[in-house]
Amino acid sequence: MSLIVPLIVLVIVFTGIFRKIPVFEVFCQGALKGLNTILTITPTLIGLITSVTMLRESGALDFLTVIITPLAEQLGFPAEIVPVAILRPISGGGSTALLIDVFEHYGPDSFAGKIVSVMAGSTETTFYAVTLYFGSIGIKKIRHTLIAGLAADLTAVIFSVLTVRLFLI
């Protein structure tokens, strides 16, 4: 598994060599473009991450967890997964911290541990992707992107519980 990334790098560089391309010069040109990319996304990321951090620190999400937990339990979802499910679309780093929290307290092979694993593996940070991609080209009218993304996240939560129940217990 650990060979994949170096292998990709080698294949790219040596295909370049065989096609008589000045690989290092071209690499540097590309890397400079990368630096420009970073510059374009800087304002977007600072704006987004600050507002997400404010939201997380305000306790609003904990409050939401308290409301949703009894509902989730009635549907057969373990309570431990609720905070991860809520934070997952909003904050990648935050939900990873909660995931590790579940691993530490219940173990990665527990029912909840397996569910949060599947959840983390099958979703991305929706808000991050939406703000980053549209923010970078200055589009504010994103139409139904967020609805479709969140519908996928909700589906992923439901199916991570279902698949773990069916195949992993």
Of residues 15-34, which lie at the interface with other proteins (CB under 8 A)? 15-16, 18-19, 21, 23, 26-34
- Which residues are CB-contacts of 105 (< 8 A; sequence separation ≥ 6)? 80
Least separation in angstroms between residue 14's CB and other proteins is 9
Taking the least distance from each CB to other proteins, the nearer of 70 and 93 is: 93
Regarding 70 and contact with other proteins (CB under 8 A), the answer is no
Distance CA 93, CA 110 (A): 22
Classify residue 90 by its DSSP letter: T
* Contact code string over 129-158 relative to other proteins, x by CB under 8 A: xxxxxxxxxxxxxxxxxxxxx-xxx-xx--
From residue 75, give the alpha-carbon distance in Å to each of 53, 71, 72, 78: 30, 7, 5, 9
Least separation in angstroms between residue 50's CB and other proteins is 4
Regarding 82 and contact with other proteins (CB under 8 A), the answer is no
Structural contact between residues 41 and 132, judged by C-beta atoms closer than 8 angstroms = yes
